[in-house]
Structure formats: C-alpha cells, structure tokens
Amino acid sequence: MSRCRICRGKLIKIIDFGKIALVGDFPKKKIKQKKYKISLNYCKICKHVQIAEILNPNLLFKEYFWETGISKSNIYLMEGIIKKIKRFKINAKSKVLEIASNDGSFLELIKKKFKCFVLGIDPAKNLKKISDKKKVLSISDYFNSKLSRKLLSRFGYFDFIFARNVIAHVSNPNEIFNGVKNLLTDEGTFILEVPHLGNIFQFNQYDNIFHEHVGFHSLKSIIDLSQNNSLKIFDVEKIDSQGGSLRCYICKKSSKKTVSKKVFQIFDKEKKLGLFYPKELKKFKLKILSHINSMKNLIQSLKLKNKKISVYGASGKGQALLQFCNLRYNNIDCAYDKSKLKQGRYTPGTFIKIKKPSKLKRQNTDYLLILSWNIKNEIIKQEKKFKHKGGKFIVPFPSPRIIS
Ligand SMILES: [Zn+2]
C-alpha cells in the first residue's frame, strides 16, 4: 500500500524495520515462521502516520489471543467509561453497539448496568464462544459500510456505538466511520478510543508499530475521518490506556451538540508537538534506533554477568519490541503471561517459551523485563514476592531502566 488510508495521499517513509513475524502468531513449536515487511510512514497531504504494509485481516484477526476481560486495568477502564456515558442519559431503552467487541466483557457490563439492548461485532470466532457464554449477542464479522446496512435493516438505529482500540487496526478507517454514520440515531453518540500518536511520538513508544496497528492516530486524523463521513467530534479526553489514548465523542454533523473547548486545546498541543510537520516526524527514526541500541546494550551487559532474564507479558507490543531489539530464546529464558491461550506456546519470531506467572520464581529469574509496561504497577504489585526476594524489574520506556 503506497497511499494514505484516510485521504489517498502519497506515503513518505520515516523508518524501515525490515521483516518481523506476526506478533499475534504464537507457534506451538519452534518452527521457522513467515516474516513480513514493516515500515512507518506519514502521508504527504494529511500527515497521518501509518505503516505501508497491509496484510489480509484474516491472517491477523480470525483467531485473536487478546481477551479484554483479563487485565484489571482494563476492567477499571471499562467501569470508567460507564460513569462517563451517564451524562448522555443511557437507559433501559437505549440500544448499544460495540465494534470489535472482543470477548463481550464490556457489553456484559453495560447490559448488567443499564438493562439495555447490546450487540457486539467481532471477527474472531474463538472469542464469540466466550461472548456467547456471557449471554452477549454478537456477530462474527468485520464492521464496515456494507455490514452497517444489513445491521440497520435487522436492528434499526443505535443510540451508542463504541469502537475501543479498533480504528488503529483497520486498513480503511473511512469504512468504520461511514458505517457508524449509517447506524447512529440523530442525537446518538459514537465513542472511540485510540492510542494517541502524541504519546507514541513523545515517549518513543515504537513497540506499538506492528502489522495489527496500521494507523497511529492524532486528534487531527479523527477530525479528518469524521469530516469525510458527515460526523463531528464534540468532545475528547485523554485516558490512561495503552500508554496514553484519546477517547473521542463523535456525533452526526447535523446534531445540536456543541463542540467542547478541549477539542481545540488538544489540537493545539498536537501542533506544538510537531505531529503534522515532516521535519519533526522524521526525527522519530533516530529516537527509535537509539532506544533499540540501549535496550540491546542493557541486556548484553546483564548476560555478561550471567544474569537470568525473563520477560513478563506476551502482548503484541512486547512481541514487536523483542523482535526489533533482537531479544530471543538465546538471551531470554522465559516469558510469563496470564493468558491460558498463550501458555505452552512460543513467542513469535523469538521463540521464548511462555509459562503461567505462578512459575516465576526468584531462583529462575534475576531480572524481569516488563513488556506490558503500560500496566507495570499492576505487574510489580502482583509479583511482590519476587521483588522482596531481590528480583529486579526492567521497564523499557521511555528509556530502559532497572527498578529494584
Ligand atoms: Zn492522508
């Protein structure tokens, strides 16, 4: 793909990472995996930052290993959003749609709280089974304009549509916005959460760059997408999710809702950060290369002292970081993760065995590299026994550091 996902403008390269294995492809055996090219680019016209390599979504999302319900921080976030939407007078008569509903955890909460009609859309068939058990109505499919017309004839309009951590994953985000426009009631609210390019850029979070994350969004890119599809963003807030995200409140262009000052404030901040200026965007490459070097040097120096190093968290971004920094089974002993789906398998491209966290002991680990650094406090608290016995943690961002 050499054209922008939002405006079809020409793409200009920031950095080329070479080839990596898909970060969601956890093999059962140490077998040679197929690797795919990946590079970061910006659009010459609208400046949207994106990768240029678009893979068949079936490769990425048919069997998805991330279950929403697992992390405590995520449950806390879901409860937070429920408090926020009360101002829009959600009640038992409301109709709620979630795009990329994952295992149904969020809709289950909404249903319990407001006793309203909920519907989830998610392409992962393995997650639908979990969703069914929760008695959350869901359809295994990709949300787009075509599906939105089918949903309209079957279910009518929706008062609330949620899209949390999905817009960055799709190759054509205009399809999602267009589908939302088709399904939203005149005064309905579309709530979208997306990792903020501002944080990724400012704090050097290049571990967000992998094939599932096609686009890196700013408030500007969300405004552009809304305008393209007769929608308008009327409010926005920063949330502590995925290392710093934006929660955007969007409605139909014709809605009576007034636009909050915060929209202008965050837009101005983005300008000051240089998110729309090629000169600033190109600096990202040097920052990334320097971080990869310090990560490699730290691990190497510990290995020279015969230290045992393991990693915590088998999330997608952890797998990107391991591959970018070339940290593999030969210098990392073990990976720990709560997800039963991943335990017993190997990390993609780097072949580190994944075990359940209860196997983590001070005897087998000196340093624990926290790959899910966005929930580092939760992990450190959980592994306090390891810490009390002298175990140390490595936090990779903003720059690699040891916490004892
Ligand atoms: Zn563009």
Structure confidence by residue, pLDDT tens digits, 186-214: 999 999 999 999 988 998 999 999 998 99
Which tokens hold the place of 351?
A: 């072949």
Mean pLDDT of 330-337: 96
From ligand 1's centre to the CA of 186, what distance in Å? 28
For residue 310, is pLDDT > 70? yes
Q: What's the full length of the chain, in residues?
A: 404
- What separation in angstroms does the CA of 30 have from each of 109, 269, 281? 39, 46, 37
**Second-level CATH architecture of 60-272:** 3-Layer(aba) Sandwich (3.40)
For residue 51, is pLDDT > 70? yes
From ligand 1's centre to the CA of 50, what distance in Å? 9
For residue 67, is pLDDT > 70? no
pLDDT in tens, 260-298: 999 999 999 999 999 999 999 999 999 999 999 999 999
Alpha-carbon span 184 to 250, nearest angstrom: 10
From ligand 1's centre to the CA of 274, what distance in Å? 16
Q: Rounded to the nearest 10 degrees, what angle do helices 219-228 and 261-273 cross at?
A: 120
N-term to C-term CA, the chain: 45
| pLDDT score of 155 | 98
Q: Which of 325, 327, 390, 382 is nearest to 358 (CA)?
A: 382
Mean pLDDT of 323-338: 96
Beta bridge partners of 215: 50
From ligand 1's centre to the CA of 134, what distance in Å? 40
Is the CATH number 3.40.50.720 carried by domain 280-403? Answer: yes
Residues spanned by CATH 3.40.50.150 within the chain?
60-272
Confidence band (pLDDT; 50, 70, 90) for 61? low
From ligand 1's centre to the CA of 211, what distance in Å? 19
Pairing of strands 401-403, 392-395: antiparallel
Tell me which of 31-35, 305-309, 364-368 is least confident: 31-35
The pLDDT mean for the chain works out to: 93
For residue 68, is pLDDT > 80? no
The DSSP string of 289-344 is: HHHHHHHHHHHHHHHHTT--EEEE---HHHHHHHHHTT--TTT---EE-S-TTTTT
SS3 184: strand
Mean pLDDT of 66-89: 78
Pairing of strands 49-51, 215-216: antiparallel
Chain center to CA of 180:
20
| pLDDT score of 63 | 60
From ligand 1's centre to the CA of 42, what distance in Å? 8
pLDDT in tens, 208-265: 999 989 999 999 999 999 999 999 999 999 998 777 899 999 999 999 999 999 999 9
Confidence band (pLDDT; 50, 70, 90) for 69? low
| pLDDT score of 59 | 77
Mean pLDDT of 351-367: 96
From ligand 1's centre to the CA of 46, what distance in Å? 4
- pTM for the complete prediction? 0.88
Residues spanned by CATH 3.40.50.720 within the chain?
280-403
Cβ atoms of 173 and 207 closer than 8 Å: no
Pairing of strands 335-336, 309-312: parallel
Confidence band (pLDDT; 50, 70, 90) for 70? low
Chain center to CA of 127:
17
